[in-house]
A and B are shown apart, each in its own frame.
Chain A
Amino acid sequence: MDGKKKPKTKKQKQKLTLKLLIKQRYLLAMSIPFVIWLIIFKFIPLWGWTMAFQEVRPKSFALSVWERDWVFLDHFKKLFADPRFLQVLKNTIGTSLIGLVLGFFSAITFALLLNEVRNVRFKKLTQTISYLPHFVSWVIIASIAKMFLGDSGVINDFLGSLGIKEVHFMTSNTSAFWVIVSVINVWKECGWDAIIYLSAMTGIDQGLYEAAKVDGAGRFRRMWHITLPGIRPTVIVLLIMSIGGVLGVGMERQMLLGNGIVKDYAEVLTWYAYTKGIGSQNYGLGTAIGVFQSAISVILLLVANKVAGRISDSKLI
């Protein structure tokens, strides 16, 4: 009975599809090239994850994927026995968490205060200026930062005039570098990150403020009890996304702000993957670092999403 029915429906479906395909030929022509692009540039590298479980050196490129030496989890075992890797992991998490806390705190404070400015022109001007640094490259920011925070830079000149001894901002090989990178990042991104909160604030029902005023709530209480809860869903969504990216600290910023002296504290996972994978041509090990990073990121994203779903209704996925 079943066998008789199935071919018929299948045929019908196929007919429908073929007709549809012809009808939608322009849509297909406008999307298929990009799907091919996607497969080449995004999915093939995912297939490259197999290298994380193999010994891949320049000489093994002549072999097919299946003929290479399978070492399974050896790369991962090696990584966790490698003190340098553990230090790099610490740097990544440290830089990331400090950046996360400072970034969220500064952007939310910035938005909260700017939202209270009543002069519309001044508000617009401040906002426009505040996200200018977002559009300036890290190469430039790093060059400026090194000049400003250098041993004879403007900041140290200023501290000197106050009688404070020279501070080696950019050249002290300690975890203070994590904070310095985060502060520079705040300077660059704070205004830009605040855009999203400011737009969420404009969506808050004005009637709530009126009602609170009638009830005798002062300005600070209104900020605390209406504005902040009003942007909570936005904050949670952004937080989930950032937690997913905790291990994905970009190598560009670290490399440009860092230097030989502070490398022990500047090097992050992506950079280490570059050093090991491309620099020393140990492609298998380099891929393994990337796989580790991706896997943890996805897990963190899912966990954060779940926790956020438990605590409140705002969920990302």
Chain B
Amino acid sequence: MMKRKKHKISYINRKTPFDYFLILFFVVVIFITLYPFINVLAISFNDATDTLRGSNMLIPRVFTLANYEYLFTEKNLFPPLMMSIARTLVGTISGVICTAMLAYTLSRRDFYFRKIFTAMFVITMYVSGGLVPEYLLITRTLGLRNNFLVYIIPGVIWVYNVILIRSFIDGLPEALQESAKIDGASDFKIWYRIIVPLCKPVLATVALFLAVGQWNGFMDTYLYAPNLKTLQYMMYEIVNKTGIDPGNTHGQNVEVLASSITPQAIRMAITIVATLPIVIVYPFLQKYFVGGMTLGAVKD
């Protein structure tokens, strides 16, 4: 103990040029990581005509809420926003419950089908049918095109998450389950009374992965449900359109619009709306997922 403390003190005292270099280096890294987001935030609050003079800024030069006002009033943002929230909530909750259930059964050494079921799930991490067969299955065989379930069911289980939870359960003391079994608890009861409460950290990790996947989901809308527009998909449409839809503007309005709002300003405003939820939940959950990631790495 004493020795360690002494070392720490000597570390602090001896700052080499390399230490200063490291700090400088990582300050630059942080800047490069954050600058684009801060810049987008600034542009979204900046007067659009002013932005045309140059978009390099950290804070808005001419502050305005007009970009957001336009986005929320003219662009009909609410249905896609609701769709994104709905798929995130339903997808995350159902995903966490299903993954935890499956992972528990696969963690039970005495379960008769443990080996074969595990093998079946793990194989799918390496081979998959590919895009076209999956597309035909979902749209033709199951008829899920433009059905909300297409956001939930095909992605309800991620094998990686199953492994993550299973490894965590494997690390729990077995005596807990044994004593519950002696008390006559059923396997289901053991799962929700003992396993689930103990697994909270890993379940939080999985919930984060699922929620981010759902919120960021784009390809499933693009392939299967273009009518069930999400925020991401709407953003894709806006980004890939060269101008604001001309049909929306008549007569005098054109001039007013052209002088105060630009497609770029709208794009930046919707970028902020789509990023915000992630930035908000991120600090609260980040302590969990680092643990989860390293757990998976060790056990894989």
Contact = CB atoms under 8 A, between A and B. Distances in A.
Sorting the interface of chain A by its residue count into under 10, 10 to 19, 20 to 34 or 35 or more gives 35 or more
Contact of B12 (A28, A47, A118): A118
A116 B16 CA distance: 12
Contacts of A196: 293-294, 297
B140 interface: yes
B63 interface: no
A317 to B, nearest CB: 9
A138 B26 CA distance: 24
A211 interface: no
B132 A31 contact: no
A130 B218 contact: no
B72 interface: no
A187 B33 CA distance: 7
Contacts, number: 232
B154 A41 contact: yes
A283 B132 contact: yes
A291 interface: yes
A82 B176 CA distance: 62
A154 B133 contact: no
A158 interface: yes
B274 A137 contact: yes
A139 B37 CA distance: 14
Contacts of A219: 16, 18
Nearest to B283: A128
A229 interface: no
Interface stretch (A97-105, A167-175, A293-301): A293-301
Contacts of B106: 31
B54 interface: yes
A27 B105 contact: yes
Interface in A138-171: 138-140, 142-144, 146-148, 152-154, 157-158
A237 B298 CA distance: 11
Contacts of B128: 42, 45-46, 294
Contacts of B23: 117, 119, 122
Nearest to B294: A199
B267 interface: yes
Given A30-B188, A37-B157, A117 B132 contact: no
Interface residues of B, number: 87
A110 B30 CA distance: 12
Contacts of B218: 137-139, 252, 256
B102 A31 contact: yes
A158 B268 CA distance: 20
Nearest to B239: A143
Interface stretch (B74-82, B85-93, B108-116, B244-252): B108-116
Judged by DSSP, the binding face of B is helix
Interface in B186-226: 186-188, 191, 212, 215-216, 218-219, 223
A128 B286 contact: yes
A139 B154 contact: no
B59 interface: no
B231 to A, nearest CB: 9
Interface stretch (A1-9, A88-96, A272-280): A272-280
Given A139-B239, A298-B126, A30 B105 contact: yes
A235 to B, nearest CB: 12
Given A34-B98, A37-B156, A154-B56, A49 B33 contact: no
Contacts of A128: 283, 286
B117 A290 contact: no
A220 to B, nearest CB: 8
B164 interface: no
A290 B130 CA distance: 5
Contacts of B124: 38, 42-43
Interface in B15-62: 16, 18-19, 22-23, 25-26, 29-30, 32-34, 36-37, 39-40, 54-56
Contacts of A80: none
B140 A129 contact: no
B28 to A, nearest CB: 11
B257 interface: no
Given A140-B271, A144-B271, A294-B127, 4 more contacts: A26-B188, A126-B30, A187-B33, A290-B129
Interface of A: 17, 20-21, 24, 26-31, 34-35, 37-38, 40-49, 51, 61, 110, 113-114, 116-119, 122, 125-126, 128-133, 135-140, 142-144, 146-148, 152-154, 157-158, 187, 191, 195-196, 199-200, 219, 234, 237, 244, 251-252, 256, 270, 273-274, 277-278, 283, 286-287, 289-291, 293-294, 297-298, 301
7 contacts: A30-B105, A31-B102, A41-B153, A122-B23, A125-B30, A137-B218, A283-B136
Interface of B: 11-12, 16, 18-19, 22-23, 25-26, 29-30, 32-34, 36-37, 39-40, 54-56, 98, 101-102, 104-106, 108, 110-113, 117, 120-121, 124, 126-137, 140-142, 153-154, 156-157, 186-188, 191, 212, 215-216, 218-219, 223, 232-233, 235-236, 239, 264, 267-268, 271, 274-275, 278-279, 282-283, 286, 290, 293-294, 297-298, 300
